[in-house]
Amino acid sequence: MEEAQNLPEEGELVYATVTEITPYGVYVTLDEYGGLNGFLHISEISTGWVRNISRYVQENQKLVLKVIRVNKVRREVDLSLRQVTDEERRAKMLQIKRAEKARNVFNTVRKRLGLTEEEEAKYEDAILEEYDDLYEALEDLVAKGAKAFEGLNLPVEYVATLEQVAKEKITLPTVNIKGVIEARSLSPNGIDIIKEALDAAEKVKSGGADVKITYLAASKYLITVTAENYKVAERALEAALNKAKSIFQKNNAFFSFTRSR
């Protein structure tokens, strides 16, 4: 099971809950560190002068903060809000949401299988020997199936249930690229030629990408390729276009492609 270290490191981003607001700063608890206490001095709340702290933070509010000092002996953690960039805040919030979603998946599996806390911890520790975090592991499981966890020595029923629940709750990130195919044929069976070429392009299998072709207007068709990343999408698009082009050329039909922006 994922467990936070006893103390965060300087420069680390942490997720905190405001517990008390005073005239000189804010006391918080660090959610990822078992409720460890931290302090946000008034000078670290904003880049400008802060007269009323309550205008910036409220009790029970969740904040992304940066660790600026750690006293390991006294177990004191000083924090900053003003030093956290928008990009860092977004990245941390995404990390938190991913962790929460992963925890929800594993909790569901534990309840379905009636696992003990010790069994759950043992299985999660085995997974974390191979992955940086549980969400990354679940994404791999959704993408590759049970073979992703081969070699982890996990019970077959556990992996199967985990895969099922993960696929119910996690959608893999995708990208898509689009373009317009223009196709014309003067042959008596021109419609059949175009249909054959576009159907063949749509059936191309490359890196798990999905190819869809839809009618736009006379002689024009929209091709959309959806994949896990742009590299895979580009390869699939090239393969689909080459497939269609070969059929058009064989039948002396006109073919062109224009990339959409």
Amino acid at 154: L
Condensed to tens digits (0 to 9), the pLDDT of residues 130-170 reads 999 999 999 999 988 999 999 899 999 999 999 999 999 99
> Could you tell me the two tokens for 255?
């073919």
pLDDT score of 3 more than 80: no
Cβ atoms 65, 40 nearer than 8 A: yes
Q: What kind of fold does domain 13-84 have according to CATH?
A: OB fold (Dihydrolipoamide Acetyltransferase, E2P) (2.40.50)
61 to 154, 171, 214, 221: CA distances (angstroms): 39, 29, 48, 51
Print the SS3 string covering 52-79. CHHHCCCCCCEEEEEEEEEECCCCEEEE
Three-state SS for 25? strand
Where do we find the tokens 């020595």?
Answer: 153
pLDDT, one tens digit per residue, over 79-100 is: 999 999 999 999 999 999 999 9
| Pairing of the two strands 76-80 and 36-41 | parallel
Please report, for the chain, the start and end positions of each structural domain, with discontinuous segments joined by +: 13-84, 88-169, 175-259
88-169 CATH fold: DNA polymerase; domain 1 (1.10.150)
> Do 141 and 163 form a contact (C-beta atoms < 8 A)?
yes
The third-level CATH classification (topology) of the domain covering 175-259 is Alpha-Beta Plaits (3.30.70)
**CA angle (212, 147, 133) in 5-degree steps:** 90
pTM, full prediction: 0.64
Residue 1, pLDDT above cutoff 60: no
Packing angle of the helix pair 86-113, 156-169 (nearest 10 deg): 130
pLDDT mean across residues, the chain: 92
